[in-house]
Structure 1
Amino acid sequence: MLLEIAIADAYGAGFEYAPPGPDRPNDASRYVPHTRHSGKHPGDYTDDTQCSIAVAECLLAGATSALGFAAGILGAFRRDPRLGYAVGFRQVLGAATDGADLIARLRPTSDKSGAAMRAGPVGLLGSAGAVLAMAAAQARITHDSPGGTGAAQGAALMVHHRLRGLGPVAELPDYLAAQVPAVDWRRPHRRHAGPKGEEIARAALGVLLDARSLAEVLVLTVARGGDTDTVAAIAMAAAAVSPGFARDLPPALVAGLEDGPYGRSFLAALDRRLAEAFDAPAVAAGPGG
């Protein structure tokens, strides 16, 4: 799952608020450079993946208090600083000394997508009630608003629904609406999305309803435009554990994903740990068909 999230994040990052063109094809064949982030190489993932890694590591370690999540997010950034974070949040991460200091520096009222983008691993928990509670707990340190927290709960529940086989993907809007009524899940978003958390999460839902394969998740997300890396990462977290989606990510995207200390090999190993810890083999199934 995390490996696929990173591929989606890295692919979508090349098109974030930057539409495809003749020299930037949206065909899932390769990563493309971003038009604004000159320091980011094609195939590098962004904060969407790094924060998902942090949440996954907190779940494995049992460090699931607000302080635990804050320390995990800060620790992931400090060991591997990278582009993609909002400027203000990156400055706070750079200044904070520990998890408690990070919490003290934050104004946790955002309604944007930062909590939703990292919520995918929470969907591995065994019950919808546990998913709702944990998704809210990790969200509230930065996004303690109805839209920010509700989007995170929905993103996590998409993973939970698909992984645990709770029904066909077409039933997701009704399932989410019953669990998280603060968000209008019965209106999936199928156009340019961002930056609000609710809109991003509903855009990911729209992609899940319309795609039939992992590669199609990427192409559909980019074709609709906006905050493409975040929409792709959220949708891919659920698609990657869904038996109804063809596992057809091109080998060039798998091989082209960064493979430094926290890159492709690290992510695959972390997926194996998650699969074992949560009795979820699909999490470590890999992106190929």
Structure 2
Amino acid sequence: MLLALAIGDAYGAGFEFAPREKIDQHNKLTGYQQHGLGIKAGCYTDDTQMSLAISELLISKAPWTKTNIANHFVACYKRDRRLGYSSGFQALLDSVNDGQELLEQINPNSSRNGAAMRAAPLGVLADIETLLHYAKLQAQVTHDTPEAIESAQAIALAAHYMLYQRGDKAGLSAFVSQHGGGFWDDNWHGEVPCSAWETVNAVLTLLKNADSLSALLLMGVDFGGDVDTVTALALAIASESGQYQADLPAFLAKNLEAGPFGHDYLAALSRQLMALKA
């Protein structure tokens, strides 16, 4: 899951809020593209880094508290500072020393998609009530609004549905709507903003309509907008389901960033995360 998430993040990052001309010219699954912020081709962003924080806390089996969650957010960032975060949140992460300081200084009144983008690893939780609680608590650390909480729960539920083979992908949106707050629309069209609800709708649309992992990437980027979050989540959720053709070009794994928290670390951590599945 985590390796797939990072691949989707790194591929989508090259097209995040890019001009339509760049998408039309380069969204061919022939190579990674550099992000407009200067993020190198093949490198992942905050979507993956914060998902690592969630995964590492799950694997540690430490108590699921706001302080522990915030500590992992800060620690993951401090050990491997990278671009991709909103400027305000990145400045806050730079200024604090631990999770307690983050909780004391943050204004968590955002309805953007930051809580959803890191929620896919929670799909390994077998008990839905626990999953919903964990998704809500991690959302409240940074995005304590109904929209953000419900979107995080929706992504966790979608990952759970696929991981535990609860049904065909055609029934995914109904399952998410049944067990989580809100009604989700899997007929998204057009550019995807950083909004929580719209991001989930775009992800569910991809998961319903695509039949392969490569199609998820191509269709997700073609939306335009915040496509790295959309492609990261869609690929992470689909990668463990068996319902999508595993046809990703070899370069996506080969050219994904290396380093201490790159390809090999992601693959190893993903195996540990999947071992938590009941």
Instruction: Please tell me the TM-score bracket, short chain as reference.
Output: over 0.9
Q: Which residue of 1 aligns with 2:221?
A: 222
Distance in 2 between the 1:187 and 1:235 partners?
Answer: 13
Q: How does the TM-score come out when normalised to structure 2?
A: 0.96
Task: Please report how far the alpha carbon of residue 24 of structure 1 lies from its aligned counterpart in structure 2 after TM superposition.
Answer: 4.4
Tell me, yes or no, if structure 1 residue 254 matches structure 2 residue 268: no
The one-letter code matched in structure 1 to 2:177 is A
Q: Runs of 5+ in structure 1 lacking a partner?
A: 280-289
Query: Counterpart of 1:116 in 2: which secondary structure?
Result: coil
1:150-169 superposed matches below 5 A: 150-169=150-169
Tell me, yes or no, if structure 1 residue 171 matches structure 2 residue 171: yes
1:234-273 superposed matches below 5 A: 234-273=233-272
1:161-208 deviation line (CA, Å, top 9, x unaligned): 0111111111112111112233x3135423211111111111111111
Q: Which residue of 1 aligns with 2:131?
A: 131
RMSD (CA atoms) = 1.4
Distance in 2 between the 1:79 and 1:128 partners?
Answer: 32
The worse-fitting range, judged by mean Cα deviation, of 149-158 and 15-24 is 15-24
Contact map agreement 1:12 1:229 (CA 8 A) in 2: yes
Contact map agreement 1:8 1:218 (CA 8 A) in 2: yes
Distance in 1 between the 2:118 and 2:104 partners?
Answer: 21
Tell me, yes or no, if structure 1 residue 202 matches structure 2 residue 221: no
Distance in 2 between the 1:22 and 1:51 partners?
Answer: 26
Distance in 1 between the 2:140 and 2:104 partners?
Answer: 13
Q: How does the TM-score come out when normalised to structure 1?
A: 0.92
The one-letter code matched in structure 2 to 1:33 is Q
Return closer, same or farther for 1:125/1:30 CA change in 2, 3 Å cut-off: same
Return closer, same or farther for 1:211/1:141 CA change in 2, 3 Å cut-off: same
Q: Which residue of 2 aligns with 1:146?
A: 146
Return closer, same or farther for 1:143/1:33 CA change in 2, 3 Å cut-off: same
Q: Which residue of 2 aligns with 1:32?
A: 33
1:70-90 deviation line (CA, Å, top 9, x unaligned): 000100000000000000000
Q: Which residue of 2 aligns with 1:114?
A: 114
1:88-114 deviation line (CA, Å, top 9, x unaligned): 000010011111101111111110000
Query: Counterpart of 1:112 in 2: which secondary structure?
Result: coil
Return closer, same or farther for 1:42/1:82 CA change in 2, 3 Å cut-off: same
Contact map agreement 1:177 1:186 (CA 8 A) in 2: no
Q: Which residue of 1 aligns with 2:4?
A: 4
Task: Please report how far the alpha carbon of residue 224 of structure 1 lies from its aligned counterpart in structure 2 after TM superposition.
Answer: 1.1
Return closer, same or farther for 1:145/1:163 CA change in 2, 3 Å cut-off: same
The worse-fitting range, judged by mean Cα deviation, of 190-199 and 251-260 is 190-199
Distance in 2 between the 1:10 and 1:24 partners?
Answer: 18
Task: Please report how far the alpha carbon of residue 28 of structure 1 lies from its aligned counterpart in structure 2 after TM superposition.
Answer: 1.5
Q: Which residue of 2 aligns with 1:93?
A: 93
Task: Please report how far the alpha carbon of residue 23 of structure 1 lies from its aligned counterpart in structure 2 after TM superposition.
Answer: 8.7
1:54-93 superposed matches below 5 A: 54-63=53-62, 64-93=64-93
Distance in 1 between the 2:223 and 2:93 partners?
Answer: 31
